[in-house]
Chain A
């Protein structure tokens, strides 16, 4: 089990090294923290709950609007951005971006990380 955690941490740390990404977290779809690289002063539990609310609600809105499969939710603010996306059945991935981040690069990195998280969790639970 700790090996699984170590693997998830490695994915998040690698993601956080992408230059436009300030920090990242893997959270469970119901809003509990799995692992993160959030800075001190940011409460990971609150980030987890908010990410779950944003993605969960967005997914349901997508269904309401018959817009097909949900990809990601982007929150733009004047000093940064937040991107959250699914990472398998059980988890979500969220990244804090610096202002003016190059979204193209970030999205690619996040997609890769989300696939890795999904893979790790599926292996970990023997599914």
Chain B
């Protein structure tokens, strides 16, 4: 991936992280490989990327199977916070971890903006092919 694109993606993450309610952010491929992230060292970016891909892939299929239209996002709600996963173009997902009582209005607006930026940066390019691993 060209350095300028990577830097731009990291910029998107940095912008999101400026919101105090946002704890961690990760941009991953829809096939479960991490691209860039800001997760604390204790967390495994590869596992999170794969799980996010599984959750979104399944949720998108669920929306189709149950006639609920187009998937928008998935929110995993737990005691310590929420985990949002949203499509960011054809090949990527944005995974955002927020605090328990986050101001969701602000978070969702920011996530919305972020995924559009990511999609523009990644879609239509051969960029992600170069990240291919098994």
Contact = CB atoms under 8 A, between A and B. Distances in A.
Q: Do chains A and B touch in the complex (CB under 8 A)?
A: yes
A106 B52 CA distance: 25
Classify the secondary structure of B's interface with A: mixed
Interface stretch (B13-21, B78-86, B113-121, B124-132): B78-86
Interface residues of B, number: 34
Contacts of A74: 74-77
Interface residues of A, number: 34
Contacts, number: 122
A61 B93 CA distance: 15
Given A47-B66, A53-B58, A70-B78, A62 B83 contact: yes
A82 B51 contact: no
Contacts of A81: 68
Contacts of A43: 65
Contact of B97 (A53, A65, A77, A82): A65
A67 B66 contact: no
Interface of B: 24, 42-44, 47-48, 51-52, 54-55, 58-59, 61-63, 65-81, 83, 97
